[in-house]
Chains A and B, each alone.
Chain A
Amino acid sequence: MTQRNTLSHLDWLEAEAIHIMREVAGQCSNPVLLFSGGKDSICMLRLAEKAFRPGKFPFPLMHIDTGHNYKEVVAFRDKRAAELGERLIVRSVEDSMARGTVVLKHEGESRNKHQSVTLLEAIEEFGFDACIGGARRDEEKARAKERIFSFRDEFGQWDPKNQRPELWSLYNARSHKGENIRAFPISNWTEMDVWQYIEREGLELPNIYFAHKRPVVMRQGAIVPVNVPLVGGGVANPSRAGEEIIDLQVRFRTVGDISCTAPVESDADNVSKIVFETATTTITERGATRLDDQTSDASMEQRKKEGYF
């Protein structure tokens, strides 16, 4: 038995992701690619380049901005979209709050889960029939059973009991008007794969992914960045009276809404050091850094049912 030309694991994952993106472009009439400026979506843009260049992307980019994003990431998002010459749509949770479709329980409540509302509003506004996202199955237990093409009903709901069987690489992205497909080209990637791909492709990242000093406090065992300046002025996560603020050397493993993304202590100031740290870490990506998933063991699943990515 002869060994055929076997692709390296990164080449295989890349080829699969390109195939999935092209299936979305080929099957759906009005898709959009969700781009946050985070590391996973930065990989998605490189994959889209590999899939569609020298043509333009057959979809715009869209970011659902909570208004509580790190300004370095927002700046990177705009710069990257401009470099690529692709259209970037930004829809804001704050606009949904102004419309009254998002009501915070209290001012300090995390806006992260409310992104679902703004996303569904944007899907309706533009008539998108598919959203391409950078979610990965290894991120969280509830994602392990997610399809690569995930079907959402008119209310954006994901019903884990009513998903289409997915066989071979034959994807079914058909939907009726108002329904929506979420497609996840890097479903089969792990955090390690993402970092190895970033390293191999020499992808640029927002600087907060690398070790830097920032003021933090400790809350319930998590490192919480405080007094984070916002794009629109003011600060997120104000420190509370009596808290000790320390200047800590940290980096972010995931980047999202400030209220629920915590950094980890690290000296890794370049990608290869991060690859090494990722290979030797003892804490899962979300366990360490996503405060929102810790609320309950099943909180991601709950949010997904409500239309979250």
Chain B
Amino acid sequence: MTTHIEDHGLLRFLTCGSVDDGKSTLIGRLLFDTKTILADTLSAITKTSEKRGMGAVDLSLLTDGLQAEREQGITIDVAYRYFSTGTRKYIIADAPGHEQYTRNMVTAASTANLAIILIDARKGVLTQTRRHSKLASLVGIPHLIVAINKMDLADYSQETYERIKGEYLEFASKVGIEDIRFIPLSALNGDMIVDRGYNMNWYEGPTLLEMLEVAPAAHTEHDEPFRFPVQFVCRPQDSANPELHDYRGFMGRVETGSIKVGDAVTVLPSGRESTVKAVQLGGVDIGEAFCEQSITLLLADEIDTSRGDMIVKSSEVPAAVKQIEATVCWMAEAPMDRTRTYLIRHTTRDSKAKLAAIDHRLDVNTLEKVPAEKLAMNDIAQVTFKLAQPLFADTYLENRGTGAFIIIDESNNNTVGAGMIL
């Protein structure tokens, strides 16, 4: 007997907002109402709630993390939470709001396919709402849910909901986000999260969980070219099995697109061409593979290929670039040093890079482009890099996998920035 459950894949989403918006309560509510919270955890937070003199159980305590932050009452970084509805698994990236917010939100958004933007019904669209929305759009999140929360403190008023929705839509048209849905919520009471509740019968749309259940989970929804950065080369020459003497498997994950046996491919940077002899997983032939699958490719011809190379379909070869323009989020305490050389990691390929120009900085509060001489932590800017090695890049807009890179400081090996190719 095996357990058969219909599987709608996995959806990664992030929640944007500050503690005041009820973000932790919303996450706690999702976990609680989907029965993810088990008795012992619930009893622990019930005790803590009582100790703090609260009347009801404070669900926001569920997302409390580290000792230091518990002591200081602040959250430090991105935390990941999990729940499942039986048909779909969810990963929530929770980037708490504080002074390092931009950096954390960009990090959390980088792996998300959907963002929930929380608005306090009493306050409406705020500067931070604009900032969250702009960042979500910059990092290429295709689906947004604008959750107008704390409806319990706004008399569950439809008028308030419609007014805020209007305000948001007016601003959103300037930011360029396409798929936006709205929902009124009370995370505190659980209205419209998993259950509808009885307070907002005027709202006829789906609950938050219903929206999440049908949101596209696929990595991408439009046709993308085949991109296969080589991570590792498998050459089991020492094997006793003579069939493996000439085995040369190129291991990696399909960033985008698809591949099957017989497809004509080009290996970059050499530019040599061949055809796909086999597509394997764990040494077993699977014939074809799609985006996000980790596979091994065998080619018909012997081509010298190593980590950092990229295999693409011969009909869709990306440009090899030695200079890139990108939107960069700076993430280190020390500002970017214009005189220094950094390391850029793009797919499985590294290149030394120098800053050629800062075109402008984006003020994430006003969304205005402002001139800038330097980049400090949490700054977002449009910059130009000169590269020592060519990268095989697509624009981030076209391809999140091959349009993204991180910046590494070789002196301490820290990741100091994130970039999206324009």
Contact = CB atoms under 8 A, between A and B. Distances in A.
Chains A and B belong together in one complex:
yes
Interface of A: 1-16, 18-19, 22-23, 25-26, 49-56, 58, 137-138, 141-142, 144-145, 160-161, 163-170, 172, 174-176, 187-188, 190, 192-193, 196, 199-200, 272, 275-276, 281-284, 287-288, 297-298, 301-302
A54 B290 contact: no
Contacts of B79: 144-145
Nearest to A299: B67
Contacts of B8: 6
Interface string B216-241: 11111100000000011011100101
Given A14-B294, A54-B247, A169-B401, 10 more contacts: A7-B290, A7-B293, A9-B84, A9-B88, A12-B9, A12-B10, A22-B231, A145-B78, A160-B66, A167-B106
Interface of B: 1-3, 7-10, 38-41, 44, 64-68, 70, 76-82, 84, 88-89, 91, 103, 106-107, 110-111, 216-221, 231-232, 234-236, 239, 241, 244, 247, 249, 251-253, 258, 281-283, 290-294, 307, 331, 345-348, 400-401, 404-406, 408, 410, 413-415, 418
What 10 A-B pairs come out closest when comparing CB atoms?
A: A287-B40, A18-B294, A50-B282, A53-B283, A298-B67, A174-B413, A9-B89, A167-B110, A54-B283, A55-B236
Contacts of B232: 22, 25-26, 52, 58
Q: Which residue among A6, A14, A137, A298 has the maximum number of chain B CB atoms within 10 Å of its CB?
A: A6
Contacts of B216: 1, 3
B408 A174 contact: yes
Nearest to A202: B2
A5 B258 contact: yes
A37 to B, nearest CB: 21
A58 B405 CA distance: 26
Nearest to B81: A144
A6 B9 contact: yes
A174 B414 CA distance: 8
Contact of B91 (A51, A53, A188, A298): A188
Contacts of B418: 165, 167
Given A9-B9, A192-B84, A199-B2, A163 B40 contact: no
A167 to B, nearest CB: 4
Given A167-B406, A275-B3, A301-B66, A144 B294 contact: no
Contacts of B251: 22, 51-52
A161 B307 CA distance: 32
A153 B358 CA distance: 34
A144 B89 CA distance: 16
A27 to B, nearest CB: 9
- Residue among A8, A10, A56, A193 having the largest count of chain B Cβ atoms under 10 Å: A8
A145 to B, nearest CB: 5
Contact of A276 (B3, B103, B290): B3
A7 B9 contact: yes
Given A5-B258, A145-B66, A164-B415, A22 B9 contact: no
Contact of B307 (A26, A51, A138): A26
